[in-house]
Amino acid sequence: MNARTDAPAAAESGAKATDKFLHKQVTADSSPERVSAILEDTLAALFEVIRKHQVTYAEYDLLKSWLIQVGEDGEWPLWLDVFVEHEIEDVNTAHRHGSKGSIEGPYYVPGAPELPAECTMPMRPDEKGTALLWRGQVRSVNGSALGGAVVELWHADDDGYYSQFAEGMGIPQWNLRGTIVTDEEGRFAIGTVQPSPYAIPTDGATGQMCLAAGWSPFRPAHLHVKVHAPGHEELTAQLYFQGGEHTENDIAKAVKPELILSPTPRADGQGKEIQYDFVLDPQ
Ligand code: MBD
Ligand code: FE
């Protein structure tokens, strides 16, 4: 049972993430030699685990039925992004000198409404949560301002739900999702609300696995961003909150010290504010 009343069922939010993913054109030009090497090493790692833990037939059958259930719940994007993506992200951004990145996760949707450099995120008139004003600037590694750089921002609401992935909750399509175009100096000032931590739904196969292992199914509260500017590598990152719940034990292992914000109260008493800039690597 999910503790939240009217919580969207895992099968719904999971299936939604699978639907969105299937619209993406997926290709990789890996050679047969490379495919073979990766598969052989993957299986060898698995054999090692089986021997080390003397995995039983009962456990093997349980694995089969659980794998089938992840697919039926449409939770492969969720499971992979929670348990595997952090390593992929780390390997693929290790060469960078600019801002640290983090995983994209399963709930990004391209094409969010375009907003000016000074803006308020699309939200309900009575949107719950602490108001948050975020000022920042996008620069290149050499220090030059990247005027017109674009910051795509998406995050959960005060209940920990994402628009378009919580059917039946009545959240407007683009709630707390925006595509912000920075000014000539790459600056922006975005008004939003602080998100709540995200809980992997415990009625789906991913959440069931966490419960079976005694793992907390939570991710700390976070803001997702994709930052782009011509001639620069796209930065995908997440920002977290100092002292926030689960920041020390993110189930997705996607927290890095450079990504933790310390919001301060605003002088006018209207919630909190943060300053956080992005530095992009040239291509
Ligand atoms: C999320 O909100 C998220 O960001 C990731 C990576 C996985 C599951 C839910
Ligand atoms: Fe998220």
In a domain, 131, yes or no: yes
Note whether 47 and 107 are within 8 A (CB): no
Task: Determine the pLDDT at residue 173.
Answer: 97
Task: State if residue 252 touches ligand 1 by the CB under 6 angstroms criterion.
Answer: yes
In terms of residue numbers, what domain contains 273? 10-30+75-280
Other C-beta atoms closer than 10 Å to the C-beta of 238 total 23
pTM: 0.94
Phi first, then psi, for residue 135 (nearest 5°) are -105, 140
Taking residues 241-270, report their average pLDDT. 95
- Does 6 have pLDDT greater than 70? no
- Per residue in 17-57, pLDDT (tens digit) is 898 898 888 899 999 999 999 999 999 999 999 999 999 99
Note whether 159 and 4 are within 8 A (CB): yes
CATH assignment of the domain containing 222:
2.60.130.10
Task: Determine the pLDDT at residue 1.
Answer: 34
The conformation of residue 232, written as its DSSP 8-state character, comes to B
**For the CA of 238, the nearest atom of ligand 1:** 4
Q: Which amino acid is at 250?
A: D
In a domain, 35, yes or no: no
**For the CA of 104, the nearest atom of ligand 1:** 6
- Per residue in 69-121, pLDDT (tens digit) is 999 999 999 999 999 999 999 999 999 999 999 999 999 999 999 999 999 99
Please give the distance, rounded to the nearest whole angstrom, from the Cα atom of residue 110 to the centre of ligand 2: 15
Task: State if residue 193 touches ligand 1 by the CB under 6 angstroms criterion.
Answer: no
In a domain, 50, yes or no: no
In a domain, 247, yes or no: yes
In a domain, 197, yes or no: yes
Task: State if residue 103 touches ligand 1 by the CB under 6 angstroms criterion.
Answer: yes
Burial class (CB in 10 A: 0-12, 13-18, 19+), 58: exposed
Confidence of residue 260 (pLDDT cuts 50, 70, 90): very high
Task: Determine the pLDDT at residue 68.
Answer: 97
In a domain, 67, yes or no: no
Task: Determine the pLDDT at residue 10.
Answer: 59
Task: State if residue 82 touches ligand 1 by the CB under 6 angstroms criterion.
Answer: yes
CA dist 105 → 30, 70, 108, 120 (Å):
23, 16, 7, 24
In a domain, 68, yes or no: no
Of 110, 184, 186, 198, nearest to 154 by C-alpha is 110
In a domain, 220, yes or no: yes
Task: State if residue 218 touches ligand 1 by the CB under 6 angstroms criterion.
Answer: no
**For the CA of 222, the nearest atom of ligand 1:** 4
Q: What residue's CA is closest to ligand 1, atom 5? A: 105
The count of structural domains within the chain is 1
